[in-house]
Chain A
Amino acid sequence: MNLSVLMPVFALMTSLVASVVLFALPERGFRLRTTINLVAAILKIALVGMMIWGVAQGREYEAAFTMVPGVEFVLRADALSMLFAGLSALLWLLTTIYAVGYLEDSPNRSRFFGFFSLCVASTMGIALAGNLFTFFLFYEMLTLSTYPLVVHRGTTKALRAGRNYIIYTLTGGAVLLFAIAWLHGLVGDLRFQEGGYFSDIAPSMQGPLTIIFVLMIVGLGVKAALVPFHGWLPQAMVAPAPVSALLHAVAVVKAGAFGIIRVVFEIYGLEAAKDMGLLAGLSVVAAFTIIYGSTRALYQVDLKRRLAFSTVSQVSYIVLGLCLFGPVGVAGGLVHLVHQGIMKITLFFCAGNYAETLGVHRIDELDGAGKRMPGTSVAFTLGAFGMIGAPPLAGFITKWTMGSGALAVGMDWVVAVLVISSLLNAAYFLPILHRLWFAEQCEPWPHERRWGRLETSAWLLWPPLITAALMLVAGLIANLPFSPLSWAELIVAREVAL
């Protein structure tokens, strides 16, 4: 047993073990629980960081064993998995800090943090999965571990949203399972492989493979919130803010998008997927989702719901990027996996802060909040500008890269989609910013809490400040090694080698 086998296993175990311990802890052990949470999160960052360093040097980490003949369980760290694992590890730490502050004196914390860790373990598993079977295991585990988080508050509304969520995602999972089984029957167990398998296939296979592809996209598209499978996402807004942050930025929607990336890149292969005409259809769905999500967001009066529809729109940037077939456009899509994550988590943290500190849920209640909560509002402002795609923030890097990529392959209409989406983003974010900074507060806050000298609890304030700073840094130094963009370009260089 050498270290390279164990690294992915360790990375997965940190949160799995933490989860088991957390379930067992008594409700009152605040300090111990927080310590375990933070130690596990920091340990995981260290492990993932070491793997990122190794992968950059060209190493690969893999642990595999055969479960039943023909079906393998594979954990593997390659450049693509590190993109997602790095994002999850980093944001998990911040979300944990945030969640500790958020749930400071609410009931059922052991249960919450237990499932919370399990959810992150599943995400880690999805990132590190080395074949479709392993991927599917963790994909379903994610569904099951997020359900208790969505319904955490136990209200009727929460239970209804939870039921809806579980119906959507389990159905999606079933479709995905069917597709995986079919594919398994056709070609056997397929490990993810750079460049994919189907570069030269018999014409007779084309039909089944096309159908399988569509089924897989449907199965994964539920979590990735592709229209028309996005219905669960806005409803899941009843979940506590840290859960929303996790759902929207790291875990659930990204699991779907990441799955689509794996299928396109490492099962079908970018070239083959394009030649079979699969990407053209996918690009239309993605483009439609982008516009549709933004348009719906425009009409929401609830802050979290507006952010939710914004997620529907933004996640599809990743999918659209894949369809731009060509190194630059694909890198734009991949890098948005990270960029959307840090931007959206910032916004959700901030929305949670407004709700917790001022009792504000609706956008029209935000008048003058900038003065009361300057730190949170600066973070929100940066997040909003990032979403609009204003430079030099992370969102701009995505948009520029995708735009260049689209032009390079002659898909000029994509630039129009990006522009329309940016305009819509501006239309639904800028009025919020005006309220924050320039409107006068007319009514007292619905439900104000005070935390000493700071605008809100330090546990709640620092995570959005840090993610906002990350978003700025990811944009400013996009050209340096180990920036998200450089990493995405590294992946593309290895995957496509065009």
Chain B
Amino acid sequence: MFASNLLLLLAIILPLASLLLALRPDWQQAYRYCLPLLPLPALLAGLTLGPDASLELPGLLLGGRWGLDELRQVFLVLTATLWLVAGVFAVGYLKVHYLRRFCVFWALTLAGNLGLVMAQDIASFYSFFALMTFAGYGLVVHEGTGEANHAGRVYLAMAVVGEMAILSGLLMAAQQAGSGLLADLPAAVAEADRRWLIMFLLLAGFGVKAGLPLLHFWLPLAHPVAPTPASAVLSGAMIKAGLLGWLVTLPFGEVSLPDWGNALVILGAVGSLGGAVLGVRQRRPKTVLAYSSISQMGLMTLMVGAALANTEYAGPLFAVMALYVLHHGLAKGSLFLSTAMALPAGRGGQWLLWLLIALPGLSLAGLPFTSGAASKLAMKELLKPGNFEFAMAPYLPMLMSAGAVATMLLVWRFLWVQRAAASVGSNPAFMCLGWGLATAGSLVLFWWLPWPGAVPDKAWLATMVHESWSLFWPILVATVIAALAWRSVKQR
């Protein structure tokens, strides 16, 4: 008990305490090497603590409570892992230029991101969410270019509006619930007279972070201009905070809301396909990846819609979403980190590197025997039209396949522009290590990380062989389209 409380506390305190290293300019080199250590207690907490670990802090804010449950555990493992590998990468990536400032904003954003996953009371949750949002600005504008400042302005303006929507939504929900705990919100929102307003505010507020269509404008501007390790955590972990916000506040499992389900499925489809359409037209690898994130979040929005439409499937869908979050976070993190990697001189080495860069991408598209295939199969299992009765339900499988094609197209586009952008040279050891860890996490480690309990057990190998065609054809279709497009460009 004591040890688990200490670990939960340390997970937040360590990143915050590291700010002391910023007191003196000559400690900044030491600070740089501490970055990978900061998420370690959180990772340990995610891996070792049971889903019922919790810590009461009655004096904090309006009464604090931090802890884990099955959903938060997966989010915490992903968040901590991603910040860890990105931190390792950052040690090699960073230059002396504004080093101290970068470390400060890194630690603050990290503390916010970990904290919001663990927070179980409303005030802590909102506090950490705001900390992450505002500190994230420091990472976005770090390079100080005009482009970065512009992206930062858009990021901040939308983030502030989002924060206000979240605040109003939480206020109303908390007022209805008469409680300061997040766990009491869904039931209260379900019964509220102004349910539509509360839900709208929360959906839109968190939707800014999650890159919901029409609220996504900041995302393709901000993610590419940030330093590469920051892009990785922005797109892999922070974007998921919006999703987590939805999952812990909206009335899942309380009441079936087919209208909201329809609306979100449509929004999700627009995000998933629209993100791809916009993404394939981009010329910079990181921008393509940012649109890919929007597209992937579209698929998750689709699941959120389905879960809202049918109380029965909310629980299982949560588990699948958690799995999807884990998969996407690791794969996208690895892809973002790979954009800064220089190619080795030898031809064999180049081929190996391209393979390792491409694999997490293929995993996103659902290549059999990857994490993507695992989560896509789990998703398919649940989103069968027979399970749902709302208007958009029959289209779900089609949308999922279309999403897979779109994802693969984006991966091709990414590899294409990345090839043009890549330079030949050597990489600092820490960068290789960080990227290697991220890739290994996406391809190998994924299978050992704690899976949410409600996901069907891992008798996947046989299923994957059985389903390999259904998983593979979208990749094939996308590849054919990409090849045709490439030929037409070449002929012109």
Contacts and interface: CB of A to CB of B under 8 A. Distances in A.
Interface stretch (B3-11, B159-167, B463-471): B159-167
Contacts of B168: 403, 415, 419
A107 B161 CA distance: 49
A408 B171 CA distance: 10
B61 A475 contact: yes
B138 A437 contact: yes
B127 A396 contact: yes
Interface in B156-179: 156, 160-161, 163-164, 167-168, 171-172, 174-175
B171 A438 contact: no
B59 A480 contact: yes
Interface string A391-412: 1100011011001100110000
A434 B140 CA distance: 12
B446 interface: no
Contacts of B152: 434, 438
Interface stretch (A342-350, A422-430, A442-450, A454-462): A422-430
Nearest to A480: B59
Contacts of B134: 385, 390
A34 B272 CA distance: 68
B127 A392 contact: yes
Contacts of A63: none
What interface size band does chain A fall in? 20 to 34
A216 B222 CA distance: 53
A14 B248 CA distance: 54
A476 B172 CA distance: 22
Contacts, number: 72
Contact of A426 (B149, B160, B175): B160
Contact of A419 (B61, B63, B164, B174): B164
Given A419-B168, A422-B164, A391 B61 contact: yes
A422 B164 CA distance: 8
A391 B172 contact: no
B175 A476 contact: no
A477 interface: yes
B137 to A, nearest CB: 8
A479 interface: yes
A400 B62 CA distance: 10
Given A385-B134, A390-B134, A479-B59, A423 B171 contact: no
Q: Is the interface of A mostly helix, strand, loop or mixed?
A: helix
Contacts of A440: 144
B174 A390 contact: no
B171 A400 contact: yes
B123 interface: yes
Contacts of A385: 134
Given A391-B127, A419-B167, A479 B60 contact: yes
B175 A390 contact: no
A280 interface: no
A399 B171 CA distance: 10
B193 to A, nearest CB: 11
A408 B61 contact: no
Interface string A463-498: 000000000000111111000000000000000000
A406 B138 CA distance: 34
Which one of B134, B163, B171 has the highest number of Cβ atoms from chain A below 10 Å of its Cβ? B171
Contact of A407 (B123, B163, B164, B172): B172
B175 A407 contact: yes
A391 B171 contact: no
Given A400-B171, A407-B175, A440-B144, A423 B130 contact: no
A403 B126 CA distance: 15
Contacts of B175: 404, 407-408
14 contacts: A392-B61, A392-B127, A396-B123, A403-B167, A403-B168, A415-B172, A419-B168, A423-B164, A430-B160, A437-B138, A476-B60, A476-B61, A479-B64, A480-B59
Given A400-B123, A404-B175, 4 more contacts: A423-B164, A430-B160, A478-B62, A479-B59
